[in-house]
A and B are shown apart, each in its own frame.
Chain A
Amino acid sequence: ETGVTQTPRHLVMGMTNKKSLKCEQHLGHNAMYWYKQSAKKPLELMFVYNFKEQTENNSVPSRFSPECPNSSHLFLHLHTLQPEDSALYLCASSQSQRGPYEQYFGPGTRLTVT
């Protein structure tokens, strides 16, 4: 248990669906991250929020839309996804983006797009 929770753990969605991934951290951290982890590929940083402000968008397609209402919660809204978006989506948090500080990862959401 790392102090970072993610729901759902598994998600299967069609290309026309809209769904949201949720992440919550109980560590009092100020930075939160979304990563994509595909088979045989390194972790890819998608978005970074520092003190609720988005500081990084790593050229992510607009069908992925993040939301950070407060420092403890992070969402990833999904719509009109493609099969190649199937992957493990990991949320992480750290004390601050301006570190370096180690990141604490949630268990991930295994997403399958059909």
Chain B
Amino acid sequence: GQNIDQPTEMTATEGAIVQINCTYQTSGFNGLFWYQQHAGEAPTFLSYNVLDGLEEKGRFSSFLSRSKGYSYLLLKELQMKDSASYLCAVSLDAGKSTFGDGTTLTVKP
């Protein structure tokens, strides 16, 4: 089966940096996605990694180590609006994606 692990909840302070980890054990790997989902809203795409290393997009960065089955999402200069659920999703062969349970991030003033 497919297994993706993320912390259930995290709390951080406005202006700080937070790292959300994701480990995976899947049959097949075709890339890893991070999505953001605000309460009551649809998930929105944040980042994609297929090669090892760091991808930077403004305040958000995502890292991948395929040999370790590990990724993280790094959020810098946290803002209150970053309070949301962050979903790690692995793209399997044949185009299917399997999602983790999501990490609920609460940003406090």
Contacts and interface: CB of A to CB of B under 8 A. Distances in A.
Interface of A: 2, 4, 31, 40-43, 45, 48, 50, 55-56, 90, 96-100, 102-108
Contact of A99 (B44, B95, B101): B95
A41 B43 CA distance: 14
Contacts of B94: 97-98
A31 B95 CA distance: 10
Given A42-B100, A42-B102, A104 B95 contact: no
B42 A106 contact: yes
A48 B48 contact: no
B18 interface: no
Given A45-B96, A100-B30, A105 B101 contact: no
B50 interface: yes
B97 A100 contact: yes
A1 B98 CA distance: 24
